[in-house]
Amino acid sequence: MTVQEIQTMIRQNMVLYRNVAKPLTDKEADLLIATWADALSDVPSAAGKLAFRRALRVCHFPVLIADLYDQLRAMQMESEPKAADLWQLVCERAHKANENKGLYSFTGHLPDGRTQGQAARDANKRLFDELPPAVQEYFGSLQALVDLDAETASGKSIRRRDFEKFYADWQKQQPLDPQKLPCAATRTMEVFYYAKIRSSPYPAVCRGLLAATLK
């Protein structure tokens, strides 16, 4: 986000929460802008604006950087695969890996010179290495993935619940990745701002700010 965009958000924040926001000196305002700019420098503009809009819907007090990061993390999680889809992939890969393991002892040679057993081992290595990072971290090894295929239906159900809990925790711990955040946002802030304006003790000031920031 640019400094100008951040200044706009801070002005909106101060006006919309004018009844509880503390007036700032010029020095305090400069420090606030610099702090926000540093924290949001890597965040795409559209994602930052969307996070601010979402935060306004749930915050009863002026929006803080932590509130924006909560929204940004939630947006990043929305871009990640669903746990159910990952588990389906896991089961498919586990079954395939178990089938490949049955070929490990085959000594017939392929056109490329490898034995069938070596080709099966190579295929399983690729199969595990291409799994999403969260799945690799959960299982830890190819053998653990293979072992899943031998589990009973009840055992797989237990493992699925355990994986879903692990995945939810794993997502919350991931650092923000700008590549996973929205790069385009809709400009639907106006309705929300006018709703705020109606209850503001300074409607004229709010309307002027709104007109300037929604151009």
Q: What is the pLDDT of residues 21-52, one digit of tens each?
A: 888 899 999 999 999 999 999 999 999 999 99
Give the percent of the chain with pLDDT over 70.
Answer: 85
pLDDT at 117 exceeding the cut of 90: yes
Question: Cα–Cα distance between 172 and 73 in angstroms, integer?
Answer: 7
Q: What is the DSSP letter of 109?
A: B
| Structure tokens given for 80 | 């990640």
Provide the 10 A C-beta neighbour count for residue 18: 15
Greater pLDDT, 189 or 14: 14
